[in-house]
A and B are shown apart, each in its own frame.
Chain A
């Protein structure tokens, strides 16, 4: 039986499957294995608005496509910023891209950090490794509306001092922006004066009101597990904890099935989830 072709059945104007060409405005090395690409539309089309926490599919012509979080300022109308780790067949050649190179972009996709819902609350941001990248747009938004929030705390853990992302920004945020920043590394040489240990050790030292706190967490799942336990111990409720999940992704629009996590599709229901809504599945292994 044929389908009706009216109303809801008609396609959106743009095909969400086809990459649109964007040009590298700036390529910057962050750490030994991460780099940041600043992109502008190659065809002069306006920047699609994105919300902090969303991601794009970045395509290297003829090579392949990867899901990468947007890590720039959501208020920046000109540039699209992605921080990428060079680990695979697509991201390694992407690391060699220079200013002027063209790559394909599809997006933005996915659910945002609850930056508006958090207004009036203290905000605790906990990041592990590259997990700081998808949280940075939220930080920009919080700082742009600084007076809407109570205390803002950023806790960040990396493997070594050389792996700390956005180090200059970390220091600036700490000194200028009225947010409490603490970072730590798993291992460091003797000349390191900072914290050593996992990021959870920073939580009890941070100043915030657990009852009126929105927590946003991104990092390896095992790290997020321990952060959540620590926050719960202090009295932060699961409805106020938000985490960003990572799964294999091929289509980003709910058709390929790869990113399923329990009953959710990370691409369209996530990547940002309110913890109480996925808690039973997050506690299982191999889901």
Chain B
């Protein structure tokens, strides 16, 4: 990833909070299906939206290892929280998706042609780390040897409204992974929410012609210098609040050198192999397939469903599972995120969103695991001096 500038682009616009609904109306009018954060069952998840009132207005989240709580805020911030258990992959790479249907015909079969139409998603409130996660999954599904037509059709028509984080969560470490907290690319519009006394507004950056087009239909004006400064300060403050930190220097080589490190046994003694971390991870893409038929056996379907490298089945070949132990499976997951991913797709597979830490039932912390391995290495080095 290119070195990211911390300066906002020369022209930014100001959208008053009271006009935010216009963004929703304009995008709906353009045929988009609006998706974004909403409070459901004690968590902020991503769901269908119709108006700004559907957003978690006045809510925030408290996060730590194995802990997530919603709290009422003292103000009416619209985006005053970080990321929850969902990520945008649930729309672009759905948890269960029919890949095809076949009909028995004579002694053979034919494909039942299905309409392939873009669902025209508009994502409202995509964080910088999540933009990076989407870019990473683009590499997997669109820029590898083969193209996934199911992902492509969902991704192509997407309109993305990014939000620069106004606060960091207890498990956030985007600064370490160089993925945030400011959105730098991959969006149509990016908002920074500002609240000053009685004033409540968004500083808006335009990232694409589609973004400019949408903004042109909404009440807005060029930002004043002090508004820009406020927006910059908000993001800079967030960057200083990271709940976690990971030294990512030479991380690939570090893990490649330490495939046999005793720490893998240590983490294996805590890991329940529940797969939560892979489900909440915005870049984890692994899936299995299930072939089913109707009762008469005349129609067959193949479903693709999210899968996890934490299951024994995942690596099963005739004779047994390749990754038979918890150690094998945790090592596979973490070295994939932080080491082999570089060789496969040219970047880290971790964006520092912290979900795997928050949603781990036993609070295993990827930043802590990396630190433990790194520290034994530096001890060894100093002992050798």
Contacts and interface: CB of A to CB of B under 8 A. Distances in A.
Interface of A: 1-3, 5, 8-12, 15-19, 21, 23, 42, 59, 61-65, 85, 87-88, 100-102, 104, 246-248, 250-251, 253-258, 260, 262-263, 265, 268, 280, 284-287
B300 A256 contact: no
B336 to A, nearest CB: 7
A287 B309 CA distance: 11
B109 A61 contact: yes
A263 B344 contact: yes
B172 interface: no
B286 A12 contact: no
Main secondary structure of the interface of B (DSSP, over half): mixed
Nearest to A9: B142
A9 B146 CA distance: 10
Nearest to B211: A1
A61 B287 CA distance: 21
Interface stretch (B12-20, B77-85, B227-235, B312-320): B312-320
B144 A42 contact: no
B108 A21 contact: yes
Nearest to A59: B291
For the side of the interface on B, what is the size category?
A: 35 or more
Contacts of A100: 107
Contact of A258 (B142, B156, B158, B288): B288
Nearest to B290: A64
Contact of B145 (A42, A64, A268, A280): A268
5 contacts: A2-B159, A5-B156, A11-B147, A104-B102, A246-B317
B89 interface: no
B325 interface: yes
B205 interface: no
A61 B188 contact: no
B328 interface: yes
Ordered nearest first, which 5 A-B pairs have the shortest CB separation?
Answer: A286-B328, A257-B286, A263-B343, A62-B293, A263-B340
B31 interface: no
Contacts of A2: 156-159, 188, 208, 210
A210 B340 CA distance: 33
Given A265-B344, A287-B322, A21 B109 contact: yes
Nearest to A60: B291
A255 B340 CA distance: 15
